Amino acid sequence: MALRIRFKSIAAKRVYFQQRHLHEGPDTIDELLERHLEKKDKKVNSLDEDEQELLNRRKLTSTRREALSLYRDIIRASRFFTWPDSNGVLWRDLLRENARREFEEARFETDPEIVTRLVIGGREALESTIDKVVEKQKEQLQKERGGGGQR
């Protein structure tokens, strides 16, 4: 009976516990920088080559996850670009092709600091682009509503 009560209390606690999954990226850019940029510690400088290589691999694994997350977010965001350019090609397709090309160019980058800078730059560009699209859509809606009210 005590085991059953204990199990129920553990299950009840689990409901209120918010777990952070590995695939979720950092909450802020500062957190991303802090996690991945090398710190000028005496401890880091005292590591031998094998330990330093292991540390770099761990950093690359984490930045790889974040880069893949960024790529997926770019693909998702490209769905909003449904209009064609001057050549008749959908902007959605152009954005996907360019994202793929840029990620392929940086695919074999091994320096964690450079990879982190690329991820941060890509994330900021994506966020600013989405913000601009949302703003333009709001303006378009206001124009349509304003024009519809005058008729």
Residue-wise pLDDT for 88-101, tens only, equals: 999 999 999 999 99
Domain ranges for the chain:
29-149
Express each pLDDT in 75-88 by its tens digit.
Answer: 999 998 888 999 99
Averaged pLDDT score across all residues of the chain: 76
Confidence band of 29 (pLDDT split at 50, 70, 90): low
Confidence band of 53 (pLDDT split at 50, 70, 90): confident
pLDDT at residue number 35: 66
**111-115 long-range contacts, Cβ below 8 Å, gap at least 24?**
112/36, 112/37, 112/38, 112/56, 112/59, 112/60, 112/63, 113/36, 113/37, 113/38, 115/36, 115/60, 115/63, 115/67
Q: For residues 46 and 39, what is the distance between their CA atoms, to the nearest angstrom?
A: 13
pLDDT at residue 119 is higher than 70: yes
Q: For residue 35, what is the enclosing H or E element?
A: helix 29-36
Paired with 90 in beta bridges are: 84
